[in-house]
Structure 1
């Protein structure tokens, strides 16, 4: 890769904005999120579950539905940071592949949910098995008490985060 124009100012600060404290929660959370959200991890899971199509968007939708159950297309769009148009195309491809189906929303006469088909659910179960195996590997040297403490702490963090996010969404 060509360097292009370089700023030769030797006073440029090359350090991160955040300090190097290994106990900084921001660093820890960022590290975990980047690991779990990385293309390399996703590609590895896709290969290990024999995902039938080499399409990351399709995989991400099946992954979301595996964790959350049936969802409205707009909820999927928001969760994955995609446009409604793109989500519609992905859901169409997933339907053609036999991984999802569109079903009526039980609480809304006009609403539609995207749900895993039997084949999609089987792949979702494989995704969950791979996720569990990955966690077991990462936590292999932890005691059962440490794993339980982590489970409780992470569940609490997720619960509080959802509560704060819902309050923010409801305020003008």
Structure 2
């Protein structure tokens, strides 16, 4: 069965094309297995990329149900279930009762999980600090502001796009 074409959109400006290219490059650099292994060694946290992504997501929110975690991470619920089991065995997360539904559970960081996330963030920030050492504080603030704005707009677009479907 043929797939339906994407809705017609105006051609991307040269600036947007360059942003997309830069994001593709940074995504490639940040998701390389060797880069992840180096970061985990520096942080002293022996976790795979999926586990680190889940830990970071849990750290950035109140305890969430596994289905909500899967939605936020853009993965299947079964993937989250396996990763949560791995993190639970390692002592990084625990399951707590859902206050809104006694039959459900939410995933929450343990103290060990909070320490692990802090070490991963610290190791990542140190590497970024070295890479951006020649940038002025003003340039770094501008970049941070623009990155947050871009992510917020991406998230808003994704929500609008899901509502349209």
- For the criterion TM > 0.5, the same-fold answer is yes
Matches within 5 A, 1:41-120: 41-51=35-45, 53=46, 55-68=48-61, 70-120=63-113
Bigger shift: 37-46 or 118-127?
Answer: 37-46
2:152 aligned to 159, 165, 172, which one? 159
TM-score normalized with structure 2 length:
0.78
1:66 and 1:125 in contact (8 A); partners too: no
Gaps of 5+ in 2: 1-14
- Tell me which protein shows more helix as a share of its residues: 2
**Cα distance between partner residues in 1 of 2:156 and 2:31:** 23
TM-score normalized with structure 1 length:
0.75
* RMSD (Å), alpha carbons: 2.4
Count how many residue pairs are aligned between Structure 1 and Structure 2: 151
**Cα distance between partner residues in 1 of 2:48 and 2:137:** 37
Any idea what SS the aligned residue of 2:64 has? coil
Distance of aligned partners of 1:57 and 1:152 in 2 relative to their CA distance in 1, 3 Å threshold: closer
Any idea what SS the aligned residue of 2:67 has? helix
2:123 aligned to 130, 151, 155, which one? 130
Partner of 1:34: 28
**Cα distance between partner residues in 2 of 1:36 and 1:107:** 37
Residues 1:170 and 2:136 aligned together: no
Residues 1:142 and 2:158 aligned together: no
**Cα distance between partner residues in 2 of 1:127 and 1:164:** 29
**Cα distance between partner residues in 2 of 1:86 and 1:29:** 26
**Cα distance between partner residues in 1 of 2:74 and 2:32:** 15
Larger radius of gyration: 1
